[in-house]
Amino acid sequence: MAEESEERAGKESAGDGRWRQLVAGGLRVIGVVHCPAFPGSPRYDGRSPAALYEAVVADAERYARGGVDGLIVENHGDIPFLRPQDLGVETAAFLAVATERVLAATGLPTGVNILANAPFHALAVARASGADFVRVNQWTNAYVANEGLLDGDAARALRYRKQLGAEGVAIFADAHVKHGAHALTADRPLAELARDLEFFDADVAIATGHRTGDAVDPAELADIAGAVSLPVVVGSGVTRENVASLHPHASAVIIGSSLKVGGQWQNPVEEERVRSFMEEVIRIREGSPS
């Protein structure tokens, strides 16, 4: 155990980043910027790149004015998602520009998630844009998703990160991936799957519900938090009503759907919802009753 701590300390000293502000404790909040469909995807509506970026930045600014601590930018409009080996270079190109503009507009610690499960594209985007971390839904092992069979590609992705000189870009990795079945690993408890993330050098473990907007199972959250020494972040289904219950085990929450107009992920961010949510979070941080 001491050897593992020394190895992790050496890794941390090699690439400290702003992402640490988001997982240092105290229940930080990371808002999800769901990008509209980009050119090349089935739901792309023909608007200009400038208009796409304007929509992305507008959502990011609403989050920032509402008081969130960080952001994550993802290509959620590109439904149905391709497997990583089928993704075109255009996805990374558009997301890199979008992410750089979000960073320039808000100055907040910002991450990148490219769906479905594309760590190489995401790392390239992070390196090009200056983003602080990437989210990888399947970092180790494998599972059956909407897109088909997806492999955890941690070994190759870490080597690619090294080649890019991007060691300071952190890996936020899901322990139990939503939108999929885990029959391939069903003989191993969730705590073991979480330990695999740490063993394969993820920086943060993410606990989620079964699909976008679904709340995490409290027992699963506790299992993950108890299995790893990594910071644990809740990655779906966070609301003003349930955030207090997550605080004992979560260093931070990733939130999107419940802060959108009508509580729907595809709608614009509603600034008043963000402010109301952050008021509740501040009460929790300060230990004040709701």
CATH code, domain carrying 11: 3.20.20.70
Give the pLDDT band of residue 35 (cuts 50, 70, 90).
Answer: very high
233 compared with 25, residue with greater pLDDT: 233
Q: Six-digit token pair at 32?
A: 């999800």
Does position 145 have pLDDT exceeding 70, yes or no?
yes
Task: Give the count of domains, the chain.
Answer: 1
- At residue 5, the pLDDT reads 45
AA identity, residue 9: A
Does position 2 have pLDDT exceeding 50, yes or no?
no
AA identity, residue 122: A
Burial class (CB in 10 A: 0-12, 13-18, 19+), 10: exposed
Helix, strand or coil, per DSSP, at residue 226: helix
Q: Six-digit token pair at 19?
A: 């992402």
Q: Six-digit token pair at 69?
A: 């601590």
**Which residue has 């919802």 as its token pair?**
273
Domain holding 142, by residue range, is: 2-286
Give the lowest-confidence range in 58-62, 156-160, 172-176. Answer: 172-176
